[in-house]
Amino acid sequence: MSYQANFRVWRGDSSGGGLEPYQVEVNEGEVVLDIVHRLQATQAPDLAVRWNCKAGKCGSCSAEVNGRPRLLCMTRMSTLPPDEPVTITPMRTFPVLRDLVTDVSFNYTKAREVPSFVPPQGLKPGEYRMAQEDVNRSQEFRKCIECFLCQNTCHVVRDHEENKPAFSGPRFLMRVAELDMHPLDAAAEEGLDRKRSAQEEHGLGMCNITKCCTEVCPEHIKITDNALIPLKERAVDRKYDPLVWLGSVIKRRK
Amino acid sequence: MTEVERHTYDVVVVGAGGAGLRAAIEAREQGMRTAIICKSLFGKAHTVMAEGGIAASMGNVNSDDNWQTHFRDTMRGGKFLNHWRMAELHAQEAPDRVWELETWGALFDRTKDGRISQRNFGGHEYPRLAHVGDRTGLELIRTLQQKVVSLQQEDFKEYGDHEARIKVFQEYTVTRVLKGHSVRGEDRVSGVFGYQRESGRFFTIEAPAVVLATGGIGKSFKVTSNSWEYTGDGHALALLAGATLVNMEFVQFHPTGMVWPPSVKGILVTESVRGDGGVLRNSEGKRFMFDYIPDVFRAQYAETEAEGDRWYSDQANNRRPPELLPRDEVARAINSEVKAGRGTPHGGVYLDVSTRLPAEEIRRRLPSMHHQFKELADVDITAEPMEVGPTCHYVMGGVEVDPDTAAASVPGLYAAGEVAGGMHGSNRLGGNSLSDLLVFGRRAGLHASLYAAALAERPELDEEQISAAAEEALNPFEGTGGDGPSENPYTVHQELQQTMNDLVGIIRREAEVAEALQRLVGLRERAERAVVEGHRQFNPGWHLALDLRNMLLVSECVARAALERTESRGGHTREDHPQMDSAWRKVNLICSLAEKGGADGSDGQIALVRKDNPPIRADLLALFETSELKKYLTDGELPSATIPEQRTDADADVDADVPDGAEQ
Ligand SMILES: Cc1cc2nc3c(=O)[nH]c(=O)nc-3n(C[C@H](O)[C@H](O)[C@H](O)COP(=O)(O)OP(=O)(O)OC[C@H]3O[C@@H](n4cnc5c(N)ncnc54)[C@H](O)[C@@H]3O)c2cc1C
Ligand code: SF4
Ligand code: SF4
Ligand code: FES
């Protein structure tokens, strides 16, 4: 069941590069990452790629296969047309370091900008009580493996370097939603309005709910429907609700 | 002089998995400037793959659970070879470590009354594993990662710099622990040396205390559930720094790894499948585990399928199904079934949950498994059985540490998590690793901090060691490793994996292990001649060439200890010595780096000695029936008649206050 496949792999670094052709054996059941490993072992020992778990759990092996953002370890060869060359390129939204490896530090910077969970006062460790129904939603968002494919895909920053400073991207807007929906998060008590900060600090307004992020998420998290839209609705509620608006204006004047 | 990026910290933690992050959080909270180093990106460490859960006797699902019961289960699982003090501390502190995670934002699955839910797992008497579906490791790592970020946010407020007191050096690899001298001329840790993956440039971090939290060794075996990071770096770093490893022969083969298609062979199928009702069948459709209940466990396991099935709903009046025996037992049973010709077409056995739970329930409880089989094997586990077989999963052996402080024998060196030895004895129970990471990660961070803070003067870095380390790291580019043809590091690695898999695998024989030791010598010579192409920037061939040193050192430890221990126990099965032998329970096998040329005249790099396993404290022994202890201990070790057979828990609590270190 083995066959020879044609691959084109982007090789290069920050100063430039291009697609290199390779011919390589493919066996039954293999995923694209297997082929990259075979290339390393036989033809291109210094071909740079990130991976860890090879089981879709760590989110390291993100790249683009035939132009589609994917995990290399979860893309089976059998899902690709056998008679056409397979093109592997690095994620486009982040600067290339070498070959398939990109500089994803943008994401770590954005992660730091989201204020952390605020533990409730007066509850000691072991005293937390939460109903399963109330944690389901935040748990869905915590399935995120930080592959950054959604960040890579979102058109707000893909090819728009200038938007990066103001926009946290779907992954980290979803993190705001996750904390906002956490039943015991005490941010509000500390004077932090997570909904407003999503709008004002993390660029929620730039998202126009195209759902491209949801489409590429390997964890099948409904980023747009379950995190971004509800966050938007509530952010809007607050912003335009006259009473809340008045209250916040008064507060700010103090 | 070699160009080296230089940093100075109080505590360096090598590893950003559960153990490393918990250690670093503790060190930072103790006021230490703390560096975390990891080979891959922050948040990707191996811990992320853990599935089933984290064991802690919180008693949320069955209030009869307590630390004594957890301790008992852990000792039984490890066949009493565990360092009893580690097992005790682990059982006592695990609940606090789990609850603490909630205050950092973790969201575990809940019970009906809103507490942390707990699930059944092999070898645990009560439902004990806190979990989040089957992605518990992800929750653990993300929570710790986010706690680190929250500490950085605090520092930003105070100092205007996120990294003022805790910094993650991601995609940095340590290749040497450096040592200096104290005033008294005593050898001790002075920092670490390594390279950055991205640029290939070298770095040093000067620090008086180094915590190793580098995880395991699975990448020395061909079929493994482990990631590329598991090249035994921490084990090797400890050896090279003069520390010792304990009981390296104990390697856990998880009974259920995927077997088909070949490219995913070894990927883990979580034990939760069995914990939630899944059963093992051979090609004849028989639930064969009932034939494999060993005598030591007979009292605790069901004799009939009906009893086993009733246990899921009524644990008070029924015994557990034998699918939930400790992992070593199940792995050997599967191995035997396949050998006897009752395996599946792809050389495994069937693991079936599809006839045991409604499809909806399977998708809810085992989402990752459902996804994994669908995506990688075209198997829908809600409709058909999985094919599974043993896979190299975990190493029980590791750096020999003081149980209370996690200190290795070299001053300033600490180890926690999978890289440390002792805690799990000859076999680890599922769920006991994640709790181990937190309990001993915290302890290592704490004691490394206390040590660093108490030092009058910090040892300085030694430039000669730095140049030597740089030279060693550059060897693969120069091709200076002796006469003979140059070697491809990938080929050497594949042969190493095949050797360990075939000759020092799940079932071992004297001649084969001896043969493996021979081959390791040859592989080491070839590894020294490994030559890599290209340059130093993100060059995987180079990285592998450097990792080979570590894998070869560790593999030799495993093989040497496996040859020495002439009994079968837990994760070490000798076909030529199939019995467990109480005399061997008292023996720990200790590996250290040999003088060149080996005193025993062998070509090895490792010296092996026997050392007494310290006797178990009397009040802990009293937690067991004498009849059970007789299965494990020699007559001389059995509690004397003056000690009451069974004590109440209250008594044991009082006794647990024996001063720390009374035994070591
Ligand atoms: C598939 C799978 C499922 C599992 N499920 C469970 C479970 O349900 N429950 C349970 O209790 N246990 C489980 N385990 C076991 C458990 O996950 C591991 O034992 C545990 O996560 C190890 O954690 P650690 O902190 O010791 O190391 P790791 O999480 O592996 O972290 C090691 C760290 O060290 C770094 N490192 C290594 N070498 C170097 C070096 N030379 N220089 C710099 N950094 C280095 C790595 O980059 C990494 O950051 C599972 C294991 C596997 C493989
Ligand atoms: S839905 Fe919003 S965040 Fe997602 S891709 Fe579209 S614009 Fe970006
Ligand atoms: S939300 Fe999905 S796509 Fe985005 S980083 Fe997380 S797992 Fe990846
Ligand atoms: S290697 Fe971990 S997700 Fe692909």
Q: Can you give the residue ranges of every domain in chain A?
A: 3-95, 105-253
Q: Which domain holds residue B221?
A: 4-250+396-463
> What kind and span of H or E run contains B367?
helix B367-377
pLDDT of residue B478: 84
Q: Tell me: the pLDDT tens digits for A142-184?
A: 999 999 999 999 999 999 999 999 999 999 999 999 999 999 9
Number of independent structural domains in chain B: 3
pLDDT of residue B183: 65
Which of the listed residues B463, B490, B513 is the one where a domain comes to its end? B463
Mean pLDDT by 10 residues, chain B (664 residues): 88 98 98 97 96 96 96 97 98 98 98 96 93 95 98 97 97 96 79 96 98 97 90 98 98 93 89 91 96 91 94 90 91 92 93 95 90 90 95 96 98 98 96 98 98 92 95 88 84 96 94 97 94 89 96 98 97 94 97 73 84 95 95 91 48 39 34
The CB of B136 under 6 Å from ligand 1? The reply is yes
pLDDT of residue A4: 94
Judging contacts by C-beta atoms under 8 Å, the chain B residues touching residue A48 are 537-540
Q: Tell me: the pLDDT tens digits for A120-150?
A: 999 999 999 999 999 999 999 999 999 999 9
How far the first Cα of chain B sits from its last, in Å, is 44
Ligand 2 nearest-atom number relative to CA A153: 5
Pick the closest to residue B124 from B428, B426, B570, B394 (CA basis): B428
B503, part of any domain = no
Residues B82 and B190 both lie in one domain: yes
Q: What are the backbone angles phi and psi of residue B572, rounded to the nearest 5°?
A: -135, 110
Distance A142 CA to ligand 1 centre (A): 20
Evaluate if residue A85 carries a pLDDT over 70: yes
pLDDT of residue B655: 39
B70, part of any domain = yes
Give the C-alpha distances (Å, rounded to integers) separating B465 from B117, B233, B461, B462, B547: 51, 18, 8, 6, 19
Helix (H, G, I), strand (E, B) or coil at B601: coil
pLDDT of residue B227: 85
pLDDT of residue B263: 83
Contact B267 A135 (CB under 8 A): no
pLDDT of residue A235: 57
Residues B279 and B303 both lie in one domain: yes
The CATH number of the domain where B274 resides is what? 3.90.700.10
- Which amino acid appears at position A41 of this protein? A
Q: Nearest chain A Cα to B364, which residue?
A: A136
Does CATH number 2.40.30.170 belong to domain A105-253? no
Residues B237 and B275 both lie in one domain: no
Q: Please tell me the distance from the alpha carbon of residue A135 to that of residue B194, in angstroms, as a whole number.
A: 42
Residues B216 and B322 both lie in one domain: no
pLDDT of residue B481: 64
Which of the listed residues B431, B463, B495 is the one where a domain comes to its end? B463
Q: In B493-598, which ranges are E strands? A: 587-593
The minimal CB distance from B537 to the residues A13, A52, A117 is found for: A13
Q: Which two tokens stand for residue B13?
A: 């933690």
pLDDT of residue B2: 67
Distance A151 CA to ligand 2 centre (A): 9
Residues B59 and B173 both lie in one domain: yes
pLDDT of residue B483: 75
Residues B382 and B404 both lie in one domain: no
Active site residue B443: no
B113 in Cβ contact with A133 (< 8 Å): no
The CB of A224 under 6 Å from ligand 2? The reply is yes
Q: Please tell me the distance from the alpha carbon of residue B200 to that of residue B425, in angstroms, as a whole number.
A: 39
By percentage, how much of chain A surpasses pLDDT 90? 87
Active site residue B124: no
Q: Mark out the alpha helices in chain A (DSSP H runs).
A: 32-42, 105-113, 132-141, 149-153, 169-181, 194-200, 212-216, 229-240, 242-253
Which of the listed residues B405, B431, B463 is the one where a domain comes to its end? B463
Q: What is the pTM of this model?
A: 0.92
pLDDT of residue B228: 85
Q: Is B115 near chain A, with CB under 8 Å? A: yes
B274, part of any domain = yes
**Residues ≥6 apart with Cβ < 8 Å to A168:** A110, A113, A114, A176, A202, A203
Judging contacts by C-beta atoms under 8 Å, the chain B residues touching residue A143 are 135, 138
pLDDT of residue B143: 98
What's the DSSP call for residue B35?
Answer: E
Ligand 1 nearest-atom number relative to CA B218: 53
pLDDT of residue B261: 86
The CATH number of the domain where B145 resides is what? 3.50.50.60
B495 in Cβ contact with B323 (< 8 Å): no
The CATH number assigned to the domain with range A3-95 reads 3.10.20.30
Lowest mean pLDDT among A56-65, A194-203, B255-264, B466-475: B255-264
What's the sign of the alpha-carbon dihedral B435, B436, B437, B439?
A: positive
B596, part of any domain = no
Residues B216 and B361 both lie in one domain: no
